[in-house]
Amino acid sequence: MLDSLISHDPKVLTEKKPDEIIASGVVESLQNFLRKCIIAVLSYGPMPKHIAFIMDGNRRYAKSRSIKQGTGHSVGFAALMASLIYCYEMGVKYITVYAFSIDNFKRDPSEVKTLMELMEEKINELLENKNVINKVNCKINFWGNLDMLPEPVRLAAQKLMASTAENTGLIFSVCMPYNSTSEIANAVTELCKERRDMMQGQQASGRNGRPANGGACSDISVSDLDCHMYTAGCPDPDIVIRTSGETRLSNFLLWQTTFSHLQNPDPLWPEFSWRHLVWAILQYQRAYPYIEQNKDLAKKQL
């Protein structure tokens, strides 16, 4: 089913015999029916609103199969498009992925160049072929320091954001180039600038050069910083999934994941599939009472 959304190769259709087309159609219909049944069962439990993915293992996938390194990322992109559709069908509203860390710029320059070219290619694919975007009515964000990207990649990302800005379905946020330390520093910088401008305005309108409210605007709260995070307006992730069995967050959404259910399934990212996503949600539902209990305790301690 998803192949027709991700790829449009006429050879695939012309090479199939009529009986093969009928058989594949029956299998596809059966898969759709079973998937709907599973989603219906899952929906009796608490469903996540926001899932974040650390897409780890593209390079190891390519190495284990003795294929070009960029091919692993291409297969990973197909897995991402499939996961978007699965999440949409499950009613998940927000999807966030860790696509490229600021620290990744320290890798071999040739590898970074290949990854940037691949990102530009995939972003342009989404601009030209909007089947997946239209199917899930997807709004796409790019979170991070976009000024660090090569100009063609940055312009393509900005164009894609602008073209999906009015969409009201799934919110898909791509973190690149990103790390949580940079996000927090950026939020502090923006908030300090905002408060400085506010105080200067109050001093200009106050008496004897003193702020009209005694300077209370200099106090900074956690909620103030929340408003300046890239994730402002987006709920914190219910689930954070890092593939390939790694347990590190690698400087990803550290501010937002206090009560997230962290999972580290063994499959490499290109191998991540429907069944892994279903299992992730079942694990979340199992841990849900404990997560909510911790949230309630934290609120009481405030």
Q: Report yes or no on 105 lying in a domain.
A: yes
Q: Report yes or no on 189 lying in a domain.
A: no
Mean pLDDT for 58-66 is 91
Mean pLDDT for 153-171 is 96
Sheet holding 239-242, edge to edge: 139-143, 171-175, 94-98, 50-54, 239-242, 261-263
Which residues are the active-site residues?
A: 56
Indicate the pLDDT class of residue 260, thresholds 50, 70 and 90. Answer: very high
Q: What's the N-to-C CA distance of the chain in angstroms?
A: 49
Q: Is the pLDDT of residue 175 over 80?
A: yes
Residue that wins the pLDDT comparison between 171 and 18: 171
Q: Tokens representing 233? A: 């307006």
Q: Cα separation of 204 and 196, whole Å?
A: 12
Residue that wins the pLDDT comparison between 68 and 72: 72
How long, in residues, is the chain? 302
Mean pLDDT for 64-73 is 86
Domains: count for the chain? 1
Instruction: Look at residue 207 in the predicted model and tell me its pLDDT.
Output: 52
Q: Report yes or no on 32 lying in a domain.
A: no
The model's pLDDT over 128-145, given as tens digits with 9 standing for 90+, comes to 988 889 889 999 999 999
* Lowest model confidence (mean pLDDT) among 58-62, 141-145, 278-282: 58-62
User: Which residue in 205, 234, 243, 275 sits closest to 38, CA to CA?
Assistant: 275
Q: Report yes or no on 167 lying in a domain.
A: yes
For residue 237, count other CB atoms closer than 10 A to its CB: 25
CATH of the domain at 132: 3.40.1180.10
Q: Report yes or no on 191 lying in a domain.
A: no
Instruction: Look at residue 278 in the predicted model and tell me its pLDDT.
Output: 97
**Do residues 62 and 68 make contact, with C-beta atoms less than 8 angstroms apart?**
yes
Q: Is the pLDDT of residue 87 over 80?
A: yes
* Lowest model confidence (mean pLDDT) among 207-211, 241-245, 269-273, 287-291: 207-211
Instruction: Look at residue 199 in the predicted model and tell me its pLDDT.
Output: 81
For residue 73, count other CB atoms closer than 10 A to its CB: 22
Mean pLDDT for 280-286 is 97
Q: Tokens representing 66? A: 């003795």
Instruction: Look at residue 195 in the predicted model and tell me its pLDDT.
Output: 87
Q: Report yes or no on 222 lying in a domain.
A: no
Inter-CA distances, 25 with 7, 32, 89, 131, 230, Å: 17, 11, 20, 20, 42
Domain hosting 154: range is 47-179+236-301
Q: Report yes or no on 35 lying in a domain.
A: no
Instruction: Look at residue 9 in the predicted model and tell me its pLDDT.
Output: 44
Instruction: Give the percent of the chain with pLDDT over 90.
Output: 70
Give, for 261, the enclosing helix (H) or strand (E).
strand 261-263
Indicate the pLDDT class of residue 8, thresholds 50, 70 and 90. Answer: very low
Q: Report yes or no on 172 lying in a domain.
A: yes
For residue 31, count other CB atoms closer than 10 A to its CB: 12
Instruction: Look at residue 4 in the predicted model and tell me its pLDDT.
Output: 40
Amino acid at 68: K
Mean pLDDT for 33-47 is 95
